[in-house]
Amino acid sequence: MAKNLLIVESPAKAKTIEKILGEDFEVKSCYGHIRDLEKGDMGIDVNNKYLPRYIVPEDKEKVVKELKGIAKKSGEVWLATDEDREGEAISWHLCEVLGLDPAITKRIVFHEITKPAIQNAVQRPRTVDMNLVNAQQARRILDRIVGFELSPVLWRKMSMKNNLSAGRVQSVAVRIIAEREREINAFLATSNFRIEATFTANDLNGKPVNFKAEGKKQADAEGAEKFLQSCVNATYKVSDVQVKPGKKTPAAPFTTSTLQQEASRKLGYSVSRTMILAQKLYESGKITYMRTDSVSLSETATDAVKAQVSAQYGDKYVQVRKFKNKNESAQEAHEAIRPTYMENNSSDDADTRKLYELIWKRTMASQMADAELEKTTARISISTNKDELTASGEVLKFDGFLKVYMEDKDEEELTEDDNQEGVLPPLKSGQELPLKEMKATERFSRPLPRYTEASLVKKLEELGIGRPSTYAPTISTILKRGYVEKRDKEGVKRDYRVLKLTGTKVTLVTEQENTGAEKSKLFPTDLGLVVTDFLKQHFDDIMDYNFTARIEQEFDEVAQGKLLWNKMIDDFYLPFKKDVENTIENAERIKGERELGVDPVSGKKVVARMGRYGPMVQIGDVNDEEKPKFAKLKNTQSIETISYEEAMELFKLPRTIGQFEDQDVVVNIGRFGPYLAHDKKFYSLSKEFDPYTITFDEAQPIIVEKRDAKEKSTIKIFEKEKIQLLRGPYGPYIKQGLRNFKIPKDKLETAADLTIEEVQKIIEEAKANPPKKSYRKKKTGS
DNA sequence: CAGTGAGCGAGCTTCCGCTTGACTT
């Protein structure tokens, strides 16, 4: 008898399931979606109930053909795509493409790839749920409409030539970044004074140790000084000691989002790096599926974790827990991310080892006992005033899950109390304490930190925007479009005051701290800010943080059969289409103009705004008789924050900084960044040089060095044919115009002897046999 | 390779969500 064909989404899954099901089934994968909306004219017939036009994309033709062939030879076809909206749609598309009747084709689902789960699923096949499929179609169509109607509005209203785009997910992601930036720009720091006293007392061994106690915060320096003065010659006594038990509980096993966050905090990985490494671990069978929003573990898994905890740390450390998802938008088609074999606590592969160990530890900790603490709070009275000081300490009584793992906190969740409370020496009520020193330190309030890739993912997940499979691509999109930049920011020095009481004297010193430094954070560009403002002004419903949540409710109603999907789309589309038409007709072009002042020389207006080639400053108006002057903003500057003085500074280029070999040396910023021009040749300036301040003495060696290096790397030049033989970091190669060509291996040694005929033959052959076509879209040459 | 800066119009771009590979400079 012919084998049955079972189709799943992921090829790694297919292999595992085939082993479980044995002889009767051939298990194949369809590699995700196999059909999509046609690209021309949106792929939707908006005048006919939004009828979608589906095609098999080029890169899926091979898979579809193979599946068709196998299906023909097979017995029954079983559909085992993921149990969520997208998975249900994939099953339906498979029916359509393979010529199966969705009303009778067997559809099975499981949340975990374990023998009992899969055998159980095979016992209870159902059919494709068309309501759920329709909910997916509504999702797909709405996203296509938003993306393909909104993006062209930007193309028309922006003078920039980038491939601008807008969408339900990406535009809101940019908005989150933009709004945080403006909060930071508008932030005014306030300060207060933190009172901290250092006392000495004997520890358990009778050895004197120092410990700290805090007083009430003082609003200003006067208050702080008054308080310290009031403590002169005081005696200090413990008035009360309280001991309270406390506990800490482990975090839930990893989802995609929490894995990305922890890998970012603990290992410093970008979101995409985490996903690439996790994919490797998954494909080699070391972890379960890495794109999931579920925190639950299979019973088989909890048993294995329990056994491992017990074997490694003893039964005292075991505590089996079931975690529930806090996130309403979760679809839970898979398990949480966990090791497939708990007995492997590490991975052989150096690349993935750290991430694997992180997953292993998190999974272990999730099934371990609470950590037990003892928190001590001692109140200390001051003889000379009515105020009180408080000393607190924490002692770990039982480490529990902390033996293995502790989740890190995000910057914005950190409080002063996280300055880890130390251990207090034993204190008794009535005990007198000798004061070593008392300090009042000025502390400034801080704005919320800028987002990291991972904290943006966290925020998106909270808003229910995006899915595990799209978090990393969404970040790539907004970076690629130039709406957002990832970079470091240097801090600025700031003075703060410290008042000290030592003996009977209060003294004031000023110290310095670095503030506002950030590493690898997301900054909005002027383009991102301007586009966000525009979209918010004209499409506030789509830019609303709750838009996705609202339509998700409607998708749910469609999935439950309570709402027709094309009715839902119609209710959305009609008003939306009006907004689009209205905006195209009436909205002004997007400029983001800001007036900075008046140029003292010409008396003309100085403005900062978006130009065709990015943010710039401008003196004068295009309608003036004289042409306006233009200058590009520096990378770190922004239309919103640039000052008049900084703007005027930008007009100081180009600068002639001296003469070398009887030719002018000129510094300027061009299409490809800062450069030196000398003798009709150009030399790019590296980041360490500032074109506004570079001196002739710094510039001259750059010219000489680069000229020499170029000479050395040139093997031969065929002037007439405009072909060069050059030496690069990978050996000799041929350059014709902007294209490079490899030299055949057997001629590498004697590259210098190549004749023009030989070179032309190599080029022709390379052009005749272009490198194999990749699935990726053509690169945008920037 | 090192200019430009407004707007027109050829012809193109663009979305989100499922999946992996086949690319190298």
Q: What is the pLDDT of residues A597-614, one digit of tens each?
A: 998 888 899 999 998 888
- From the Cβ of A777, is strand B under 7 Å away? yes
Return the residue matching tokens 């894995």.
A259
CA distance A429 to A238: 5
To the query of whether residue A289 is one of the catalytic residues in this protein, the response is: yes
A560 Rama sector, left if φ>0, alpha if ψ -120 to 50, beta otherwise: alpha
Report which of residues 389-448 in chain A place their beta carbon less than 7 angstroms from any atom of strand B: none
- From the Cβ of A52, is strand B under 7 Å away? no
Measuring CA to CA, which residue among A340, A391, A305 is closest to residue A19? A340
DSSP tag of A266: I
- From the Cβ of A528, is strand B under 7 Å away? no
A632-683: per-residue pLDDT in tens? 898 888 999 999 999 998 888 888 888 888 888 888 887 777 888 888 788 8
Give A751 CA → B24 C1' in Å.
23
- From the Cβ of A730, is strand B under 7 Å away? yes
Return all residues near A428 (Cβ < 8 A) that are at least 6 apart.
Answer: A238, A241
Give A333 CA → B7 C1' in Å.
51
Q: Which domains does chain A have, with CATH numbers?
A: 4-128 (3.40.50.140), 191-249+372-411+421-445+484-519 (2.70.20.10), 256-369 (1.10.290.10), 593-651 (no CATH)
CA distance A320 to A324: 13
- From the Cβ of A94, is strand B under 7 Å away? no
- From the Cβ of A770, is strand B under 7 Å away? no
Question: CB burial class (10 A; 0-12, 13-18, 19+) of residue A36?
Answer: middle
Q: Are A728 and A710 in contact (CB under 8 A)?
A: no
Q: How confident is the model at residue A748 (pLDDT cuts 50, 70, 90)?
A: confident
Per-residue pLDDT, A182: 97
- From the Cβ of A32, is strand B under 7 Å away? yes
- From the Cβ of A272, is strand B under 7 Å away? no
A152-177: per-residue pLDDT in tens? 999 999 888 778 999 999 999 999 99
Amino acid whose CA is nearest the C1' of B12: A163
- From the Cβ of A147, is strand B under 7 Å away? yes
Give A630 CA → B4 C1' in Å.
10
CA distance A277 to A256: 12
DSSP string computed for A226-240:
HHHHHTTT--EEEEE
User: For residue A14, which nucleotide's C1' is closest to its Cα?
Assistant: B19
Give A465 CA → B8 C1' in Å.
38
User: For residue A469, which nucleotide's C1' is closest to its Cα?
Assistant: B17
> What is the arithmetic mean of pLDDT over A351-377?
97
A199 Rama sector, left if φ>0, alpha if ψ -120 to 50, beta otherwise: beta
Question: If you average pLDDT over every residue of chain A, what do you get?
Answer: 91
Amino acid whose CA is nearest the C1' of B15: A147
Per-residue pLDDT, A1: 65
Amino acid whose CA is nearest the C1' of B21: A775
> What is the arithmetic mean of pLDDT over A103-117?
94
Per-residue pLDDT, A738: 64
Enclosing H/E stretch for A529 = helix A526-538
Q: How confident is the model at residue A557 (pLDDT cuts 50, 70, 90)?
A: very high
Per-residue pLDDT, A769: 64
Residue A49 identity:
K
CA distance A264 to A275: 11
Give A738 CA → B5 C1' in Å.
27
CA distance A735 to A763: 9
- From the Cβ of A575, is strand B under 7 Å away? no
Per-residue pLDDT, A768: 67
CA distance A371 to A403: 9
Give A732 CA → B12 C1' in Å.
37
What is the layout of strands, in order, in the sheet containing A714-718?
A: A714-718, A723-728, A731-736, A739-741
Q: A625-633 contacts: CB < 8 A, separation 24 or more?
A: A626/A602, A628/A604, A632/A669, A633/A526, A633/A608
Q: What distance lies between CA A292 and its chain's CA centroid? A: 17
- From the Cβ of A740, is strand B under 7 Å away? yes
Question: CB burial class (10 A; 0-12, 13-18, 19+) of residue A354?
Answer: middle
- From the Cβ of A85, is strand B under 7 Å away? yes
Amino acid whose CA is nearest the C1' of B23: A774
Return the residue matching tokens 């089996």.
A320
Give A10 CA → B20 C1' in Å.
9
- From the Cβ of A159, is strand B under 7 Å away? yes
Give A159 CA → B11 C1' in Å.
17
User: For residue A465, which nucleotide's C1' is closest to its Cα?
Assistant: B16
Give A629 CA → B10 C1' in Å.
31
- From the Cβ of A612, is strand B under 7 Å away? yes
Q: Helix, strand, or coil here: A736? A: strand
Q: Note the helical H segments in A124-220.
A: 130-157, 170-186
From A289, A451, A471, A683, active-site residue? A289
Amino acid whose CA is nearest the C1' of B8: A156
- From the Cβ of A244, is strand B under 7 Å away? no
Q: Are A196 and A212 in contact (CB under 8 A)?
A: yes
Give A154 CA → B20 C1' in Å.
33
- From the Cβ of A555, is strand B under 7 Å away? no
User: For residue A480, which nucleotide's C1' is closest to its Cα?
Assistant: B14
> What is the arithmetic mean of pLDDT over A87-99?
98
Per-residue pLDDT, A779: 34
Measuring CA to CA, which residue among A706, A713, A155, A269 is closest to residue A520? A269
CA distance A242 to A341: 46
First to last CA, chain A: 58
Per-residue pLDDT, A311: 97
Is the bond leading into A654 cis (omega within 30 degrees of zero)?
yes
User: For residue A37, which nucleotide's C1' is closest to its Cα?
Assistant: B15
Report which of residues 478-507 in chain A place their beta carbon less than 7 angstroms from any atom of strand B: 481
- From the Cβ of A774, is strand B under 7 Å away? yes
Q: Are A743 and A753 in contact (CB under 8 A)?
A: no
A189-242: per-residue pLDDT in tens? 999 999 999 999 999 899 999 999 999 999 999 999 999 999 999 999 999 999
Q: How confident is the model at residue A386 (pLDDT cuts 50, 70, 90)?
A: very high
C-alpha distance from residue A290 to each of A97, A297, A499 (Å): 28, 13, 53
> What is the arithmetic mean of pLDDT over A523-538?
95
Return the residue matching tokens 């670095």.
A514
Give A778 CA → B14 C1' in Å.
15
Amino acid whose CA is nearest the C1' of B18: A32
Amino acid whose CA is nearest the C1' of B24: A771
Return all residues near A205 (Cβ < 8 A) that are at least 6 apart.
Answer: none
Give A121 CA → B21 C1' in Å.
31
More confident residue, A721 or A428: A428
Per-residue pLDDT, A548: 98
pLDDT over 50 at A772, yes or no: no
Give A563 CA → B16 C1' in Å.
22
- From the Cβ of A671, is strand B under 7 Å away? yes
> Which nucleotides of strand B lie within 7 A of protein CB?
1-7, 12-25
CA distance A309 to A313: 6
Structure tokens at A656: 């002639």
For A11-52, list the strands marked E by DSSP. Answer: 25-29, 36-37, 44-45, 51-52
pTM passes above 0.85: yes
Question: CB burial class (10 A; 0-12, 13-18, 19+) of residue A114?
Answer: middle
